[in-house]
Amino acid sequence: MIKLNGLSGGYTQPPTVNGLDLEINKGEFFTLLGPNGSGKTTLFKLITGQLPISEGEVYIDGKNLATLSNIEKAKLMAVLTQENKVAFDYTVEEIVSLGRYPHQKGIFKNLTKKDLAVIEEVMELTNISDFRKTPFRRMSGGEKQRVLLAKALAQEPEILLLDEPTNHLDIKHIFQMLDLLKKRQENFDLTVFAILHDLNIASLYADRIAFLHNGSILEVGDVGILRKEDKLKMVYDVELKSRAHPTLPKPQLIMTPDYSVSRTMDFSKSYRIKQTEEYIHVEFNQHLRTISNGVIGEGIQWLKHFCNFHVSKDYNSSEPKEDLQSWMTKHSIPPEQAVGMMTAVELEDAVFLEEEIEGIPMMAVVTAGTGNAVDITNELNRGVIQTVGTINIFLFINAHFSDGALVNGIISATEAKVKALQDLKIKDIHSNTIATGTSTDAILLGLTQQGEKTPYAGSGTTVGKGIGQIVYRATKKAIKKYLHRVYEGNWRQ
């Protein structure tokens, strides 16, 4: 749809845009990224003919730009620029009507029924119908941007060139505008060529992306190129980490500022524990890097409150998350900064172990019930579970883990838990084989992120071994307490 062949031009020598080759397909949402002054707007001006081309060609829909009249260009392309100044004191409706100019015929250029229908439609789409009689100059920056988008859409172009179209817009209107453009792209095969500064927004909306660097294209491809941290560093000269969007298969970029404060905390003095019949609450004075499958606080996060609430053994709520949130709120614990688990185990049987293993301080809190023990290698038993049978493990470590090490840590802790069950000969009552866990086990690992970063925490590492030992000891002790209670002190291994 747009083909740039060895394109050069700009205000400077050598030209800002220098021998640039690029092809944009019909119906795609293409985003141009690059730092300030890299020549993005200059490139747009060369494409629209606002700046003379010094070398190369621009082809639009197979036609050389140099051979097209202004009306022909306006029927093909509409432009939304960063500037939203308008020379005369038009109303909103008049500005939008200007978009129909390339389609009007005859000397008097009156608006036809079709023109009026298009104007109505685009004002409706951009949510500006209520402002139709308002003078343009009285609109806010964001509202002006929406009016100019309506004008561009009224042009019914095949290509929409957008130079930072989300400037002046609040978050809601950024998403509204880009959702609208995506719909036009899908329903009308509109080609969108947008300059954006927000890399994360570009990742969410673009089909393809190009990095402009020193006047030419450094890299072009689908949004996966935003995973190339070294390229981003080269283009923007900042440290960026590419991470996954939590629900979409798109990268999102995380910036780390230079000013970041180094963490210092005395591990054993950095937390306090509250234990009642109703709940256990471990509160740290700083946020820990966490990985958990808790009902609240799941995934990898930064959290500082860790709670295990007691429930009756027939607790069967359809809204466990909401229940935990309300219980936490009742005890002034902020749920958005917490991991929350539940157990039917008596909380006075909880085991607390603080140990320094191989020079690494750790603290484990374990509640265990095994009435519901399961050998995971057997078929699923679909019966209703109404027994005290969950192992909940909190493990806090004074170390600095990579995300991979967090996963390693979960493996190490799980292996240690399985060993405890094995050594105590806890069985799956359905299969009569040694259990590997219970059907609803939960775990949390909390890291202070102090000291040197560790990439691994498996059984081949000091910290992995430490995890194994403390989890094994605490889990075994917690299971024994549970069995003593169940067998009223008559349990013997």
Ligand X SMILES: Nc1ncnc2c1ncn2[C@@H]1O[C@H](COP(=O)(O)OP(=O)(O)OP(=O)(O)O)[C@@H](O)[C@H]1O
Site string for ligand X, 87-106 (x = CB under 6 A): --------------------
Q: d(Cα 194, Cα 40) in Å, to the nearest integer?
A: 10
CA dist., res. 190 & res. 158, Å (int): 5
Instruction: Identify the CA nearest to 80 among candidates 174, 171, 145.
Output: 145
Look at residue 419 and give its three-state secondary structure: helix
CB of 419 to ligand X, least distance (A): 58
CB of 14: closest distance to ligand X in angstroms? 12
CB 20, min distance to ligand X, A = 12
118 vs 317: CA distance, rounded Å = 52
Which listed range, 34-42, 179-187, 199-207, 442-450, lies at the site for ligand X (CB under 6 A)?
34-42
Q: Does the protein bind ligand X through residue 372 (CB under 6 A)? A: no
Q: In whole angstroms, how close is the CB of 11 to ligand X at the nearest point?
A: 3
Tokens found for residue 11: 């205000």
Q: Report CA-CA distances (Å) from 211 to 10, 30, 202, 399.
A: 18, 11, 12, 38
CB atoms within 10 A of CB 486: 14
CB of 82 to ligand X, least distance (A): 7
Residue 84 binds to ligand X (criterion: CB under 6 A): no
18 in helix, strand or coil? Answer: strand
Nearest distance from residue 254's CB to ligand X, in Å? 22
Nearer to ligand X, 37 or 383 (CB): 37
Q: Which stretch binds ligand X (CB under 6 A): 35-43, 324-332, 356-364, 468-476?
A: 35-43
Going by the DSSP 8-state scheme, the letter that residue 138 receives in this structure is G
Contact 445, 292 (CB under 8 A): yes
When asked if residue 41 is in the footprint of ligand X (CB under 6 A), the reply is: yes
302 binds ligand X (CB under 6 A): no
Is residue 38 a contact point for ligand X (CB under 6 A)? Answer: yes
* DSSP line for 324-365: HHHHHHHTT--GGGEEEEEE-S-GGG-EEEEEEETTEEEEEE
**Among positions 36, 262, 312, 318, the unique one binding ligand X when judged by CB under 6 A:** 36
Q: Are strands 427-428 and 240-244 parallel, antiparallel or unpaired?
A: unpaired
42 scored as a contact of ligand X (CB under 6 A) = yes
Please choose, out of 8-16, 63-71, 91-99, 455-463, the segment that lies near ligand X by the rule CB under 6 A: 8-16
Q: How far apart are CA 464 and CA 218, in angstroms?
A: 42
The per-residue DSSP string of 203-243 comes to HHH-SEEEEEETTEEEEEESGGGGG-HHHHHHHH-S-EEEE
Query: Least distance in Å: CB of 13 to ligand X?
Result: 11
**What does the alpha-carbon distance between residue 276 and residue 376 come to, in Å, rounded to a whole number?**
33
446 counts as binding ligand X under rule CB under 6 A: no
CB of 65 to ligand X, least distance (A): 18
- 31 sits near ligand X (criterion: CB under 6 A): no
Using CB under 6 A, which of the segments 38-46, 254-262, 278-286, 419-427 binds ligand X?
A: 38-46
Least CB distance to ligand X at residue 166 (A): 13
Does position 11 bind ligand X by CB under 6 A?
yes
Which helix (H) or strand (E) segment is 475 a member of? helix 462-486
**Which of 40, 304 has the CB closer to ligand X?**
40
Residue 451 CB, shortest distance to ligand X, in Å, is 40
Nearer to ligand X, 158 or 163 (CB): 163
Compute the Cα dihedral for 123, 124, 126, 132 and give only its sign.
positive
Residues between 171 and 200 that touch ligand X (CB under 6 A): none
Q: Is 16 among the residues that bind ligand X (CB under 6 A)?
A: yes
Q: CB of 284 within 8 A of CB of 307? A: no
Q: Is 39 in the site for ligand X (CB under 6 A)?
A: yes
Verify binding: residue 257, ligand X, rule CB under 6 A. Answer: no
Residue in 40, 228, 289, 476 binding ligand X, rule: CB under 6 A: 40
Give the pairing of strands 271-275 and 279-292.
antiparallel
What gap in Å lies between CA 448 and CA 264, rounded to an integer? 9
Which residues lie across from 391 on neighbouring strands?
A: 368
| Position 487 contacts ligand X (CB under 6 A) | no
- Which amino acid is present at 303? L
Using rule CB under 6 A, residue 165 touches ligand X: no
# residues contacting ligand X (CB under 6 A): 11
Closest CB to ligand X among residues 167, 459 = 167
**Of the candidates 9, 15, 34, 157, which one interacts with ligand X according to CB under 6 A?**
34
- Among positive and negative, which fits the CA dihedral 326, 330, 331, 336? positive
Query: Can you tell me the distance from the alpha carbon of 203 to that of 226, in angstroms, rounded to the nearest whole number?
Result: 7
Q: Judged by CB under 6 A, which of 37, 62, 359, 383 binds ligand X?
A: 37
Cα–Cα dist 77/193, whole Å: 10
Identity of residue 15: P
* Residues at the interface with ligand X (CB under 6 A): 10-11, 16, 34, 36-42
